[in-house]
Amino acid sequence: MIRLTALSNPRAAQAFIDYMASRNIAIQMMPEGEGQFALWLADSQYQIEAEAELAAFLQNPGDEKYQAASWNMAESRTAKFFYPRQGLLTSLKQNAGPFTLSIMVVCIVVYAGLTLGFGNDVFSLLHFPATDEQQWQLWRLFSHALLHFSATHIVFNLLWWWVLGGKIEKHSGSAKLMQLFLLTALFSGLGQYAFEGPAFGGMSGVVYALLGYLWLMGALAPERGLSIEPAYVGFMLLWLAVGFFEPFGMAIANMAHLFGLVSGCALGVIDAKLRKAR
């Protein structure tokens, strides 16, 4: 299934669902918390049509054709809402694509290596290039994002990666998420290295980049259906500011966060403007 968007008004969302059902295109509504209800397209072959109809609906949700569809579908609809019950693995797969899940698995394997007696070897292989010899080992420009040094570190980063990366991959495809991962891992790593040196690691720079990307896409091109809730943006920006004070003696890659956020915002502006130009 493909996530189209999230709405705060379930009655309006149901009107759109009924209208699409009248066109023989199945869409399901699922709660996401914080008063949001996600619309999921059941069959990917109708994605272009569904996104076009959704854009028209968002511009004029009070159009009579949506109300008429609700009346026409009322007799055949057996329930107003459908909330399928699903397990953890099903939820993980449903809300993320193969690249999102693959990076999560690799991070977990790397973390296991760090904690099971191979810490020096794993870190030496994956950290940001620090010597003249390592500067030609190009994988290091990206592999530093796979390193995590505590359970809290990896859980926090992978949770956000799953939420933000999964949303982007489901909407825009694996190639787009891979592009964002590589570019923002590079820029966030360069920023952290320039100010603090090569002793760092973690997905947080990429996570902040995805946050910035979704934030700017939602602000500049809302018709694309890619956005993030303002509460999430506020929380992450607050944590970005707090990180510079290194609370509880935590070692935080603050420049990676900052450069990641800036690079993600820049990519969001580019994608939003290019799409509008086309």
Whether 8 is catalytic is no
Q: Which candidate in 144, 148, 153, 257 is catalytic? A: 257
Q: Which of 223, 229, 210 is nearest to 268 (CA)?
A: 210
Q: Determine the Cα–Cα distance for residues 258 and 245; give it in Å rounded to an integer.
A: 14
Task: Phi first, then psi: give them for residue 85, nearest 5 degrees.
Answer: -85, 135
Give CA 237 to chain center in angstroms. Answer: 16
Q: String of b and e for 134-164 (b: at least 16 CB within 10 Å)? A: eeeeeebbbbbbbbbbeeebbebbbebbbbb
Contact 20, 27 (CB under 8 A): yes
Which one of the listed residues 70, 143, 188, 204 is annotated catalytic? 204
In Å, what is the CA distance from 131 to each residue of 188, 201, 204? 19, 17, 24
Which residue, 261, 244, 141, is CA-closest to 201?
141
Residue 57: name the closest of 70, 45, 44 by CA: 70
Whether 144 sits among the annotated catalytic residues: the reply is no
Q: Burial level of 73, CB count in 10 A (0-12/13-18/19+)?
A: middle
Active-site amino acid positions: 204, 257
